[in-house]
Amino acid sequence: MTTERTAVITGATSDRGIGMTVAQRYAREGWAVVILDLDGEKSAKVAADIGNQFAVPAFGHTIDVTSEDSVTAAYDAVAAEVAAGSLPPVGALANIAGITSPVPFLETTLELWNTVMAVNATGTYLVTKAFLPDMIEHGWGRIVNMSSVSAQRGGGVFGKVPYSSAKAAILGFTKALAREIADTGVTVNAVTPGAVDTNIRVGSTPEKEAKLAADIPIGRVASTEEIAAVITFLSSQDAGYLTGTTVDINGGSHIH
């Protein structure tokens, strides 16, 4: 298998997270992968494990997506690997890193609001801005941003006002950037999962999870693999005429 492009995934070290499944799916489809997460040591281990399992080049590095300096350092580390020939050029970026906020609005603080906006929305902005120029230079690229059905429904899943607001910002960011760079060969799309079987819903209970599933027309939450399949499709050659789109993956919980 010839690996021609690298996929960069943020937020990909959680064993039950969407990001790790996305990284594994990219690797299974022949992409080299870069794992970027807060824990640099774990990022390197996850990358090594995926690289060994799927026989593709892989690299892990620390990143704090809320810090421009940290994002720049992560980009520089990846660029050095590309320059050295250890990785092929970056062809896809999956902005997965995020946090939720199951706090009623009147109990939120400005600190919580700023943190949720910084990780979800500002992080997507900073990482995209760092990796986009190289994609434009190569005339080919795929950016997939993680939003949420909460942005479309106004919550109603688990995250509340700050989370829904941040994920809505990502939808506007996706559409505006897609329009601005449409003639460069780089596409920008978003996915809006509903409830997914991950560990992001900290503080939930079996009773809440059962009610959540019962409220979904399909009758269950999504698997991380189902989300990853859409993200890797949007990163494929076949998806080249899709840009500025929002792909709903919610089991019918929001139909519009």
Catalytic sites, residue numbers = 163
141 - beta bridge partners?
A: 186
Structure tokens at 73: 């350092």
Cα 46 to Cα 31, 77, 90, 128: the distances in Å are: 15, 17, 19, 22
Cα torsion 42, 227, 71, 99: sign: negative
What strands, in cross-sheet order, belong to the sheet with 32-37? 58-62, 32-37, 6-10, 90-95, 141-146, 186-193, 246-249
Q: How many CB atoms lie within 10 A of CB 203?
A: 9
The rounded distance, in Å, linking the Cα atoms of 167 and 99 is 10
